[in-house]
Amino acid sequence: FDGAGKSLPVLVAGKKKRNDEDEDYIQTNSEDSKEKPSPMKRQKIKKDKIEGHAIKHFKSGKHVVIDIDDDVDYDGELVIGNTHCRPNAIVDLIHELTQEQKVDIENIGFGGLLKMQVTVIQTKILSWLLHHFQEGSRMLKIDLMKEFTLTEEDIQDIFLLPKVNGGEMVIHRGVDKEKMAIIDDWKKKLNLEANSDIYVNDLEFKIKSMKQGGDDFKKFFVMYASSTFLAPVANRKIDTKIIKCFDNAAQIPRLNWCKFVLDNLCNDVHRLKKNKNNSAHRKGVSGCMIVLQIAYFHRLKFKGICEPYDLPLIQHWSNERIRN
């Protein structure tokens, strides 16, 4: 955005793209495309950094606490009624999966979700985090000394989702013959009428019945996880704009899901702030908002205690820890 508050042209796949309210606004910075350390390498680096900071603060005898109660500049203007991100939908479903189904989920790179415990999102701290989150630069900035940029690597550390260079998901917003054929095929497999929509509840019911797993199970689970949690929808209809990306189940672990989750989060934060004076838009916010909370807890909020660093980070957070 320029100084006058006007939006600037956005680059997509190396080409200029017009600014459209219905189109994605945020794209990954070029830095994200560079070769990054493996998750295990980053885990060791993270351990070294965390332990180093812990020793430094312990010796100084100071506790650096960064939270909403210490922020004198926070005006509480951005009010969040609720979120469409439902971690409880994932946790509840996982409890009913068979071992065969869990193995399939591991094999497509979504095994990190199986370790989730937390089922709630704290909306009070979320409003504060969104106030300080600059979706354009992807920076969570409390003040000059307390800031970090949210990256694809953070998403991978939190969930251990696939992050494949060159595996960018192509979003198909329109309707073509191929997309319609895929949707019709899904409806048949879900025993739905041809003129009906597909809701996440339809997927949940079918997933629970597919005890042996299989390719259709993999596709339905990924769509369910995306539509309820990773890139949640507002109306409980599945996100058909990504259905072509993984109708072939073999493609699922070859995609950059970390980029998809991060882009979707930033786009939804942008839409929320753009419409913050519209009460209808403030009733619910999409995007995987729990990412902001977990990244904040691990990267900034420090009370003299090292947070666990083994991956995925999401496994260390329960409802009680989130509330505290």
pLDDT digits (tens, 9 = 90+) for 146-167: 788 999 999 999 999 999 999 9
Lowest mean pLDDT among 50-54, 76-80, 292-296: 50-54
Q: Is residue 21 part of a domain?
A: no
pTM of the model: 0.77
Q: How far apart are CA 309 and CA 267, in angstroms?
A: 28
Number of structural domains, the chain?
1
Within-domain flag for 82: yes
Residue 202, domain member (yes or no): no
- pLDDT confidence of residue 39: 61
Cα–Cα nearest to 171, from 239, 96, 250, 101: 239
Structural domain contains residue 46: yes
Is the preceding omega at residue 39 within 30 degrees of 0, hence cis? no
Q: How confident is the model at residue 267 (pLDDT cuts 50, 70, 90)?
A: very high
Q: 277 pLDDT exceeds 80?
A: no
For residues 251 and 145, is the Cβ–Cβ distance under 8 A? no
Q: For 242, which DSSP code?
A: G
Residue pLDDT, tens place only, 98-153? 999 999 999 999 999 999 999 998 887 888 899 999 999 999 988 777 788 999 99
Q: 39 with 152: CB under 8 angstroms?
A: no
Residue 210 belongs to a domain: no
Does residue 151 lie in a domain region?
Answer: yes
Q: In this model, does residue 87 exceed pLDDT 70?
A: yes
Task: Tell whether 263 is covered by a domain.
Answer: yes
Mean pLDDT of 307-323: 88
Residue 203 lies in a domain: no
Range of the domain at 318: 38-165+226-236+254-323
